[in-house]
Each structure stands twice: as structure tokens, then as C-alpha cells.
Structure 1
Amino acid sequence: MRTLPSTILVVGGGITGSTMAVLLRRVGLDVELAEAAPDWNTGAGSGITLHGNALRVLREAGVWDEVRMAGHGFGTIGLTAVDGSLLHEERSLPAGGDDLPATFGIERPRLQSILAAAVRASGVRVRLGVRAQVTAQYGNSVEVAYNDSESRRYALVIAADGLHSTLRAAVGITDTPKTTGMAAWRAIVPRPPGLDRTNLTYGAPVHIAGYCPTGPDTIYAYLVESTKPRSELPPPASHAAHMRALAAPYGGHWPAIRAHLTDSSQVNYSRFSRLLVRNAWHRGRVVLAGDAAHSCPPTLAQGAAMGLEDAWVLSGLLADEPPATWDDALLTRYHDRRSRRAATVVEASVRIGQWLLDSSPHADIPNLMNRTMTMLRQMP
């Protein structure tokens, strides 16, 4: 009799996939991770804001102490006028509990480096520079081909391969991301004296002007404007100049930030998208996690947190059952625990963006943020 496979394959080595792999190993499961990039140790991007519900998962994964030393936590957010004057100070709800920062900033490549090291230290077998394709399912196993050649069977495949997941489409889940009409310019710059939290300016001249401390010496700054056709975007060599021009009307810390926006190679531009797979997140023994199942604009800074929560919930469910019983009912329980919470976050994030696009007189961003964060204090 052929022995059934017991190894889990995680496809995608970003924040969700790496954390998923570590948590699965911490509950004693055998794991491989496949990542298309040839070197995923640092990744790309500028900075990332994480709330307490994300931090508590990183603590479960055993990396919180290292993350804490690399970033910066804070407990309030300021709403400012264009000239930099403070309009309102909002105390952030500690969604991960009172023993974790309510809000935390870190450079995204640094977070990726910490997670990649944790993956390797956990004993996960890592395959880099490969593309995984599901070629068949056999009840208790999934056959996966790498780069159209080598094939292996796994007990379960977790598709954590991002917003444009190829596995999502390959197993017949037809939901696709949609743009929201906004895009952000982001850059890491030196941290000006006295800047110790996020301040946000909503409305004109851009929809959102904000920044977040990412450590003792750095912040990431971001400017959110309406999406333009690609033909109207400045050439890459002019990205820093474009970001400086967008920042020019803003006071407070912005003149000091603007002075360091000189290197276009350090400026990132990305369009905001939304995705919510409302029906089942699995087909057979292939299951979605993170941005492959749900993705939202960063107006609530909850996109990564939702993927981290997926990793915590799914790893816990799998730990409670032997591989032979990882059936439709178990994966449906995962969906049922995650889908409503993820939908609430996606819809709130999109609503904030739409209010800003419409210049809505009825917008109440602080209240919506508080309601959502109060919900997120509850364990997923």
C-alpha cells in the first residue's frame, strides 16, 4: 500500500506564506515552501504599518522580539491640516492586547529578512526560483509540477502566492482583483527629529499624505493620489521629483521629508486593488491564504494582518487533525472563521478610499477605524 504524503506545500514566500510555514512547523508539521523569486531574503517595498492583531501572530511565530527591535511602536495617530498643524489626536486601540503596541512601523525588507531567517531556522525546506503548478488531485494528495518538469505529491497545498495568484485561477476560483482608483508613492527617508508616530492629512491636494516611523532612524512616507493611466505617469527617473512636487504644499515634518526625496530608485509606486473571494477558499486540497483570498487598499493598514491571521487560524486547525482527515469540512471551517472578518476589513478599507475619492461630506474615517479595530481586538 502506498504511504499517503504528509508534507504541506506553501506556495509564496511573502509575509503570509513565510509566517504560515513557520507556524506549521511550530505545531510539528512537515513543510516545504516554494517561491518564484530566486532570492526572497529581503524582498522589495518600502515600509509597512502593522496593528496589534498582526503583532500577536508574529509573536506566536516566535519573531516578535526581533521585529520589535527592528521597528518602532506607538499608541496615537495625529490628524493634521495641510500646514502641519494638529487637528485631532486619536488614541489607537491595541487590537493585539495591551502588552503589544497598538501601531507599529517597520521597513518591509527588514521584516521579510526576519521571516525568511525564521523559515530556514524552523526546518522548512525552501525551493527558490521555481514556479509550482497543480497538475492533479487524488483525494488525499495534490500533485505539483515545478517549472513544468519535476513533480511531487503533497498532503495539502496552501496558495499564498499573492493578489495575482496563479494557483487561484488554476484550481477554478474565478474571482479577480479590481483597482480602486487610488495609487500611492512611497519612500524610506531619514526620520526627522520629533517624529515619533503616524500623522495623516486627508483631502486635497492629494487624498492622503502620511508617514510612519520604521525604526530609530527611518520613516516611510506616502502620498496617495488618484490613479492615472500608465501613459501619464512620470518616467522612472523622475519619480523622486514627482513625489517632491506632491509633497510641496505640506508643512510640519514634510519639508524635512521632502528634502530627502532625491533618489528615484528608492521611490515605489503601486495601485490600490481590492479582492474578496466570497465563496469557498479551497478546491480539494488546495486552499487560499492572504492576498490570494482577500486584499484591500492600505487605508486601514490591515492587509498584511489579515494574511497573518489566516496563517494562525489555518495552522491551528491543521494541527488538530491528522493529514488523512484534512477534508472539505476542515477547510470550510477555516473559511467560515476568516471570511466575515476579512470581508469587514476589505469593505471598510475600500469605503475610506471611496469617501476620499468622492470628497464625501458624510465621511467619518476615525469612527469607522475605531469600529473596525474594536472588532479586531477579538481573536480571529
Structure 2
Amino acid sequence: MTAVKKVAIAGSGVAGLATAIQLAKAGVDVDVFESKPELSALGSGITLQGNALRAFGALGVWDDVQAQGYFFEGLTIRAPGPDAPAVAELPEVRTGGPEFPAAGGMYRPDLARILLEHAQAAGARVRFGATVTAVTESVAGIEVEVDGASEGIYDLLVGADGLNSSVRDLIGIETKPQPTGMGIWRSFVSRPAEVEHSELYYGGPVYIAGYTPTGEDTMYAYLVEPAQDRSGLSDEQAVAIMLEESAAYGGPWNSIRADLEAGAHVNYTWFTKHLVPAPWNRGRAVIIGDAAHSCPPTIAQGAAQALEDALVLTELLTRADALDSAVWDEFHARRLPRAQAVVDASVQLGQWQIDHDREADAPGLIFGIARQMAEPA
């Protein structure tokens, strides 16, 4: 028995497709509705901590992820300057357990494709260009409208539709993401042979400069600056800004700048923070992933937390006989404190950079959260 037999999922990101995979594997009838017209072929990289890799193992996608990404141990902290001297070599906690690497990186569209393929192979139906526009709950279940037309009655609607979640609005949750004061430039570039794991530069003209390998020949590079209105810039203007802001960083940044000058794509977003207080559900609708919580990627836990939301939710749904208060009580007890710890720590690390607090114990906070994440959700 499962607590649900038919489920609608809004969103085809990490949280939505992980939920679809687990439910479909358990024999649940699953429809995924994605507002975008297709799976995006654009994007930069994503850093994945060990607890995200553990989640991929539970989903049955780890072999494909491992083959497509680049996984490693350790973290290097460098100082700005032409020589980019390494000032610290930090070991990383294997938060996924001894059978998984400490961390890794991969191209975001590759991860999206792998999850989509596994969801469809498990039996989930995925429709693009389809937005959930209304929900109505009754004794029979929850009626879901997509683009103004009813798709029928479901036992549950999972809102995994991101920062600007439509489902969150439809079910009356008012908490929304707020800017933290930081913005990030990202670019997907070639990997110099000497880059074998993530490296971060603190200080200089931006808060953080860094890069993470994503494959044998690829990596993504990023610069974190004070949040600004960067809308309306041409590709050439965006590249020029990234070139200027990275000029103080040597070492592998010389190779990154060469790729930027050769036409590497650049994108820009603001960091946000929010955590919806319990409950994340309203009756037979629940939000997870970025719809429920967001934070700066200062400890790279965004994907991991979305995956954990999905795995805990589906574990409870597939082992319970009914969708009752016991399911929701356990879900919130297991997810809220963990998400709160990640959001608080991520925001604090960013705020220390904004405040130029050189006395802050960033390594201590990072390792403390890592130890927490090493315990399964």
C-alpha cells in the first residue's frame, strides 16, 4: 500500500523529478507539469555535496551521474594576486558516506536530462509548456487545472516549481524569497589540468571568486559581487564585466579569462533566502525544494536539500497507508530543522563576506554543517 495512488507534480527540476522517480517506481500514477516549453539546453555548472550523491544512489541514478560529472575530495582556498597563492587546503567531510566522493560538479543540463530519462523510464508522464493555474480540494481529492483546463482529481499535488512557485501562491503561502545583497556571475569554461577540485578566492574586488570542475575538459567559474541590476546587458558587456572583476585573480583564472574572451556564455542571478515555516502543505498540496526554501550557494547545499525533501516525502508516502497528519508531522520534523540549519549557515557565510568580517570562523561553520549533513535526512 501507498498513501497515494495518483500524484501531480509541478516542476521538472531536481526536486520534482526525484519525487517522480521514487513514486513511479513504487507504482504511483505520476504526472509532471513543467511550465517551460522544453528541458533547458542552457546552463552553467552545479556543485554537488556528498549528501546529494547519496540521494542519487537512492534514486538509482548515481552511475549515470558519476559517468557524466567530475567528482573529487578537498577544497583549496587561494588569495588574490597574480600568483594566486594557496593559503589553505581543506579536507572535506564525506557527507554521503564512505562509498561516495566528498563532492563533485557537473553541467546542469546533463543532470536535468539524466533525471528526466529516469523519471520517464519509471513510468512518469512529463509534459512541458504546462503551468498549474488552479487547485481545488474536495473530499474526492485535489483537482488540478493546467493552463486553465482541469487535468482531473489527484491524491496529492507536489509544488516543486522553484523560487517563483505558482503552487506556493495558489495554496496561500505568503513567504517568498528575498534578496541577500549578493549577485553571482557564472560561466561554463574549459578545465585547466591543474584544477582537480573546487577552489575559492576570498578578498579582492569581489566577495568570492571560484571554480568547480564539471568534467574531464570542463568546469564552471563564478564571481560573487554586491547585487546589482544587471538586466539588459549584451553578451559582450556581461563578458567585459566578468573579465574586469576577475583581473585581480591569477592562476587558473588566466585560462578562464581566455575562454571568456573567446566567447564563453555568461549569466547572472541574485542570491535569495527564505524558509517557509511549517507546515509546507495545505491539505493535499505540498511545496518542496526551492519553492519551500532557498539560500546562497555558499555551502553548495541547494540541490542536496531539494533531493532530501523529495526522498523523505516519497519514503513517507510509499510506506504509509493514508495521507494523514502522521505523514505530515514526520515530514516536517525531519525536514524543517535540517533546512533551517542550511539556510541559516549559508546566509551567515554570505553576510560575513558582505560585512568584511575577517575574524569569522567560516571553516568552523562549514565543517559543522557538513557533519550534520553526514547524518541521513
TM value normalised by structure 2: 0.95
- Residue 346 of structure 1 is matched in structure 2 by 343
- The one-letter code sitting in structure 1 at the alignment partner of 2:201 is T
Residue 198 (structure 2) aligns with: 198
Aligned 1:1-380 pairs, distance under 5 A:
6-40=5-39, 42-83=40-81, 84-230=84-230, 234-262=233-261, 266-322=265-321, 325-380=322-377
- Counterparts of 1:265 and 1:287, CA distance in 2: 39
- Number of aligned pairs? 373
Cα distance in 2, alignment partners of residues 52 and 109 from structure 1: 20
Unaligned runs of 5+ in 2: none
Is the partner of 1:261 in helix, strand or coil? Answer: helix
Classify the secondary structure of the residue corresponding to 2:105. strand
Task: Quote the Cα distance in structure 2 between the aligned partners of 1:313 and 1:9.
Answer: 17
Task: Name the amino acid aligned to 2:30.
Answer: V
Identify the range of structure 1 (326-335 vs 274-283) with the bigger mean alpha-carbon deviation: 326-335
- Return the alpha-carbon distance in structure 1 between the equivalents of residues 201 and 140 of structure 2: 52
1:262, CA displacement in angstroms?
3.0
2:140 and 2:300 map into 1 onto residues whose CA distance is 37
Residue 229 of structure 1 and its aligned partner are, at CA, apart by: 3.2
Percent of residue pairs identical: 41
CA distance in 1, matches of 2:68, 2:233: 33
Q: Which amino acid aligns with 2:246?
A: A
Instruction: Measure, in 1, the Cα distance between the counterparts of 2:76 and 2:310.
Output: 31
Q: Deviations over 1:224-275 (max 9, x none)?
A: 00011347x7444311121111111101111111110136671110100011
Cα distance in 2 for residues equivalent to 1:314 and 1:151 = 23
Inter-partner Cα distance in structure 1 for 2:110 and 2:198: 19
Matched to 2:86, the amino acid is L
Distance 1:18 1:211 in 2: 27
For normalisation by structure 1, the TM-score amounts to 0.95
Q: Deviations over 1:284-327 (max 9, x none)?
A: 000111001111110110011100000110000000123xx202
1:28-50 alpha-carbon deviations (Å, 9 max, x no partner): 3221111111212x454200000
Alpha-carbon distance between aligned partners in 2 of 1:53 and 1:258, rounded to the nearest angstrom: 32
Q: How far apart, CA to CA, are the structure 1 residues paired with 2:116 and 2:168?
A: 24
5+ long unaligned stretches in structure 1: none
Runs of at least 4 residues off by over 4 Å: none
- Counterpart of 2:142 in structure 1: which amino acid? V
Distance 1:237 1:44 in 2: 18
Letter in 2 for 1:62: G
CA contact 2:143–2:153 (8 Å) conserved in 1: yes
